[in-house]
Chains A and B, each alone.
Chain A
Amino acid sequence: MSEPVTLTIDGKEVTVPLGTTIYQAAQQAGIDIPIICYHPHLTANGLCRICSVEVKGWRVQAAACVTPCADGMEVHTRSEDVICGRRTILELLASTVNLEEAPEILALLKEYKADPERFAEGEQRTAPLYDDNPFYIRDYNQCINCWRCVQVCAEDAQYTFALTFNGRGFHTQIGTFMGLPMPDTTCVFCGQCVGVCPTGALKPKRQALLEQGLDPDEIFRQTRRKRKQRQNA
């Protein structure tokens, strides 16, 4: 191990190589830090802030998934401020988007005793359902802007760059360039984005149709439109 650094996390001493993040060090020490946008196989961005922890002497909390450990650091993952912050993040998420199909986030809501109704009068982020290709649907009513899909579409996996952000601030939303339908973009339908979506905002079309109660034969008919048109021609 070149250049080890030693820090304490919740009073426990941990020694890790330089460059290790607080999140990874905590995992090594068996200390659980909650995550939402973080994915162990993707570039961490510290977007959702649910992994925020307190570092002694720091003015603000640090996102554990992107903050590298330093020698002598004193980290608290469960202080009152940290818990309060996480609870508020969860309450804001719950008031903004539909978390029905995000079991891990729902479990966190419970764990942190968050009140999903706290900001019930706040603005909801709404979007139409995009069903513009034969393979997957996009329902941004369930999107928490974790950025995973944008990343796997870019340099974390596919290098296709079909997905991006549209809008500003609260109204930021994942979409395509110029809002084009998927088949008109550079999308190659690899579905890496579907594979990393934590909330069911991106979903295989067959799964979506099955959830609507269609049987496999009807799903088959509904997903074979063009071929039929063509045979009629």
Chain B
Amino acid sequence: MITPDKIVRTTCPYCGVGCQMNLKIKDNYIYAVDAPFDAAPNYGMLCVKGRFGTDYVRHPARVKKPLIRANRQEGRTAPPVWREVSWDEALDFVADELVRIVQTYGGDAIATYASAKATNEDNYVFQKMVRALLGTNNVDHCARLCHAGSVTGLQLSIGSSAMSNSIAEMEDLDVFIVTGSNTTETHPVISNFLKRAVRKRGAKLIVVDPRQIGMTNFATLWLRQKPGTDVAVFQAMAHVIVKEKLYNPDFIARRTEGFQEYIESLEEYTPEWAEKVSGVPAEKIREAARLYASAEKGAIFWGMGISQSTHGTDNTLSLVNLALLCGHVGRRGTGLNPLRGQNNVQGCSDSGGLPNVYTAYQRVDDPDVRMRFEAVWGVSLNPNPGLTATDMVDAAVMGRVRGMYIMGENPMMSEPNQAHARHALSQLEFLVCQDIFINETGEMADVILPATSFAEKDGTFTNTDRRVQRCRQAVPPVGESRPDWEIVCDLAQRIEKRLGVTLSAGFSYTHPREIWEEMRQVTPAFYGIDYDRIDREGGVHWPCPSFDHPGTPYLFADGFPRGRGKFWAVEFGTESEQPDEAYPFNLSTGRVLYHWHGRTMTGRSSLDEIYPEATCEMHPADAERLGVQTGDWVQVSSRRGSIQLRVLVTGRSPQGTVFIPFHFAEAAANVLTAVQLDRRARIPDYKVTAVRVEKCDPPAGWEERPLTDQGAIKDPVEIH
């Protein structure tokens, strides 16, 4: 039996739930992880990733020294030859190159990725360096690829894009809708609270999802719409609510605008029309509408299935319309809740890791806000919103962007149409990656700056319900790796020297606590949160304007940030690539329980043991038609490229749709996907791509072995 040298309380590095966990340490080795039972948000629960998947911290492939590409002249797509260098050499080189690009082409020729995996403090100093020293607002992060559709929709309708209610309230639900979220696999601990609401409190769950996800086992109603027809279903629900007068006239009069125009726009969206379009029986749509509208407390939870679409903004707007119609927002147990993906995707956005806003969504093009930041930072700032992540790739192809700085992200795996992304990165004059491993993007970099993992640094993360929590150092950094904030500050000081400027606020922090203090000063919403308070209370939900303010578990009790909630008429239509004769299947991409995004971390942890390869999930009827069985190899092709992987026959996918997780570089789903963007949110459609599937031979040297189904639900029973 082992007695730990110490037990360190920290926040899980994986998803947006922000589970609190205890790392048990012996001789600087994390040998076990468990969770405190008395702490929000997870109260003792973890999922497989948090409890067993943090062993990547000690992986031998961690980058231990700064690296410079020795074969730059061979081009960025050649296999890299790395030369280990000192921090001084690496940072001087990066500073030289960035300053050269700024001075030659202007600051907007540099594009940067902040990181939803780094702390609030890391991201704050990162965007400060980019904005104040490089003079550009070209900073974005992977939120663009996950919830941009939700953010844009929520901003348009209510003026705030965070999850409106807290995880703790999930115990108090009455009726709730889960749509476009495979909650049991993507937010496992939240799914446990939702299941508990159903099983212990008698809450009614309505699932709207084309896939037979784990949550359908707990649903009162499951509306299985054809992929991409979400708007039709929600509009028809709204139609029923209006026709049957189930809406909340008092709430509509007090809190909303645009109701008359909106109900006129609903006229043609009858449930019968929606049945034709979406395949969901009209009667089920009516039942769902009645159930949601007549609930005392109704909440909506959604994920990538809503936002990652060419009509992601419309999907979101149609959900907001439902909540506004019924007054299901602004009270405990109600709400509009986009479930955020990364552990700090909320925090990265809050810390200014977006091209159009500083901290807490203060707009860069608002002169008053800009003046406040100019006063604190001591430099004049660029008033023009910068490029979004999806547009950075195109700008690199066009030559408008010459240098890229990527902190803790892997666009080569996560951007749609990988060949295009690869071409774009290969055009750059300079690419620097700051990460804990050399991932697929790092392979193309000129410089790799080794960062520390979550277990080796201090800071704060903000989870999906806006709770600011601590990340605490448990073990010493591997090799010469340094925390992101420290690397950025060191680099920024070198850039200052070269540009001959010194900011009054500077970059001479000695601990993340000091960075948070500066953030707090420039951000009214964080003013009441500091490290001592987080240590005392475990976490605080922002907005929290003063130390005596309790924090805000649910938003919009008294009003919306834009004043009145606005109903937006939504039209049904799609610009996504539809299946046709040549490419008859629809491809939906997504995540599985055991892996995380580009697999930079999970692929290097023992999680890879249980789920070691990509699979193409296919409906039994489709499999029979193609003459394939579970374990057979297939080639999946789209107009952009093709990949080879094994088939898993399962009723989870609807007929005509195959599902491929996007985690695996050797069968990367994003080789297939197209850059089809939502016009307003600039988010790509990862859920609808036309593909062809053909049986093929196994790759050379393949040794046969069984393929087991590790889905969160297995062999689902056809309910209807």
A and B associate in one complex: yes
Q: Which residue of B lies closest to A222 (CB)?
A: B606
Contacts of A189 in B (CB 8 A): 48, 51-52, 594, 610
Instruction: Mark interface residues in B412-450 (1 if CB within 8 Å of A CB, else 0).
Output: 000000000000000000000000000000000000000
Q: Which residue of A lies closest to B24 (CB)?
A: A207
User: Which one of B1, B24, B46, B710 contacts A192 once the chains associate, using CB atoms below 8 Å?
Assistant: B46
9-residue interface stretch from A75-83, A123-131, A209-217? A209-217
Give how many B residues have a beta carbon under 8 Å from the other chain's beta carbons.
Answer: 50
Task: Tell me whether A184 is interfacial, beta carbon within 8 Å.
Answer: yes
- Asked if A220 contacts B55 (CB within 8 A), the reply is yes
Contacts of A217 in B (CB 8 A): 60
Residue of B35, B199, B608 with most chain A CB atoms under a 10 A cut-off: B608
- What is the CB-to-nearest-CB distance from A21 to chain B, in angstroms, rounded to a whole number? 18
Task: Tell me whether B612 is interfacial, beta carbon within 8 Å.
Answer: yes
Cα of A229 to Cα of B612 in the assembled complex, Å = 10
9-residue interface stretch from A23-31, A51-59, A151-159? A151-159
- Asked if A216 contacts B45 (CB within 8 A), the reply is no
- Asked if B609 contacts A134 (CB within 8 A), the reply is yes
Task: Evaluate whether A188 and B712 lie within 8 angstroms (CB atoms) in the complex, with A159-B195, A206-B32, A233-B703 already known.
Answer: yes
Task: Tell me whether A32 is interfacial, beta carbon within 8 Å.
Answer: no
Task: Evaluate whether A41 and B606 lie within 8 angstroms (CB atoms) in the complex, with A100-B1, A184-B708, A207-B31 already known.
Answer: no
Task: Evaluate whether A224 and B609 lie within 8 angstroms (CB atoms) in the complex, with A157-B192, A195-B35, A211-B1 already known.
Answer: yes
Give how many A residues have a beta carbon under 8 Å from the other chain's beta carbons.
Answer: 42
Task: Tell me whether B562 is interfacial, beta carbon within 8 Å.
Answer: no
Task: Evaluate whether A135 and B47 lie within 8 angstroms (CB atoms) in the complex, with A223-B55, A233-B701 already known.
Answer: no
Task: Tell me whether A190 is interfacial, beta carbon within 8 Å.
Answer: yes
Task: Evaluate whether A191 and B714 lie within 8 angstroms (CB atoms) in the complex, with A227-B609, A227-B612 already known.
Answer: no
Contacts of B705 in A (CB 8 A): 229
Contacts of B51 in A (CB 8 A): 135, 189-191, 194-195, 204
Q: Which residue of B lies closest to A206 (CB)?
A: B31
Task: Tell me whether A38 is interfacial, beta carbon within 8 Å.
Answer: no
- Asked if A190 contacts B606 (CB within 8 A), the reply is no
Task: Tell me whether A172 is interfacial, beta carbon within 8 Å.
Answer: no
- Asked if B59 contacts A220 (CB within 8 A), the reply is yes
Cα of A232 to Cα of B612 in the assembled complex, Å = 13
Cα of A155 to Cα of B197 in the assembled complex, Å = 11
User: Which one of B47, B55, B200 contacts A155 once the chains associate, using CB atoms below 8 Å?
Assistant: B200
Contacts of A195 in B (CB 8 A): 34-35, 44-46, 51
User: Which one of B34, B37, B192, B612 contacts A158 once the chains associate, using CB atoms below 8 Å?
Assistant: B192
- Please report which residues of chain A, range 1-27, place their CB below 8 angstroms from some CB of chain B when the two chains form the complex: none
Contacts of B55 in A (CB 8 A): 206, 220, 223
Instruction: Mark interface residues in B180-208 (1 if CB within 8 Å of A CB, else 0).
Output: 00001000100010011001100000000
- What is the CB-to-nearest-CB distance from B183 to chain A, in angstroms, rounded to a whole number? 12
Task: Tell me whether A136 is interfacial, beta carbon within 8 Å.
Answer: yes
Task: Tell me whether B2 is interfacial, beta carbon within 8 Å.
Answer: yes
- Please report which residues of chain B, range 29-53, place their CB below 8 angstroms from some CB of chain A when the two chains form the complex: 29, 31-35, 37, 43-48, 51-52
Cα of A207 to Cα of B58 in the assembled complex, Å = 15
Cα of A195 to Cα of B52 in the assembled complex, Å = 12
Count of chain A to chain B residue pairs whose CB atoms are closer than 8 Å in the complex:
120
- Asked if A224 contacts B610 (CB within 8 A), the reply is no
Contacts of A159 in B (CB 8 A): 192, 195-196, 199, 218
Task: Tell me whether A40 is interfacial, beta carbon within 8 Å.
Answer: yes
Contacts of A194 in B (CB 8 A): 34, 51
Task: Evaluate whether A233 and B60 lie within 8 angstroms (CB atoms) in the complex, with A134-B609, A159-B192 already known.
Answer: no
Contacts of B59 in A (CB 8 A): 220
- Please report which residues of chain B, range 685-712, place their CB below 8 angstroms from some CB of chain A when the two chains form the complex: 699, 701-703, 705, 708, 710, 712
- Asked if A190 contacts B31 (CB within 8 A), the reply is no
- Please report which residues of chain B, range 580-625, place their CB below 8 angstroms from some CB of chain A when the two chains form the complex: 593-594, 606-610, 612-613
Task: Tell me whether A117 is interfacial, beta carbon within 8 Å.
Answer: no
Contacts of B609 in A (CB 8 A): 134, 223-227
Contacts of B46 in A (CB 8 A): 190-192, 195
Cα of A189 to Cα of B712 in the assembled complex, Å = 10
- What is the CB-to-nearest-CB distance from B39 to chain A, in angstroms, rounded to a whole number? 11
Cα of A196 to Cα of B43 in the assembled complex, Å = 12
- Asked if B2 contacts A211 (CB within 8 A), the reply is yes
Instruction: Mark interface residues in A165-208 (1 if CB within 8 Å of B CB, else 0).
Output: 00000000000000000011010111110111000100011110
- Asked if B613 contacts A190 (CB within 8 A), the reply is no
Cα of A226 to Cα of B59 in the assembled complex, Å = 16
- Asked if A224 contacts B48 (CB within 8 A), the reply is no
Task: Evaluate whether A133 and B613 lie within 8 angstroms (CB atoms) in the complex, with A183-B708, A204-B32 already known.
Answer: no
Contacts of B607 in A (CB 8 A): 134
- Asked if B44 contacts A41 (CB within 8 A), the reply is yes
Task: Evaluate whether A190 and B188 lie within 8 angstroms (CB atoms) in the complex, with A220-B60, A224-B609 already known.
Answer: yes
- What is the CB-to-nearest-CB distance from A230 to chain B, in angstroms, rounded to a whole number? 6
Q: Could you give 8 example pairs across A and B, Cβ below 8 Å? A: A155-B200, A186-B714, A189-B51, A190-B46, A195-B45, A211-B1, A220-B59, A226-B609
Residues of A within 8 A of B (CB): 40-41, 100-101, 133-136, 155, 157-159, 183-184, 186, 188-192, 194-196, 200, 204-207, 210-211, 216-217, 220, 223-227, 229-230, 232-233
For the complex of A and B, list the 9 residue pairs with the smallest distance between their C-beta atoms, beginning with the closest: A134-B609, A191-B51, A189-B48, A135-B52, A204-B32, A207-B32, A223-B606, A159-B195, A41-B37
Other than A135-B610, A195-B35, A210-B2, give 4 A-B pairs with Cβ distance below 8 A. A135-B48, A158-B192, A183-B710, A229-B705
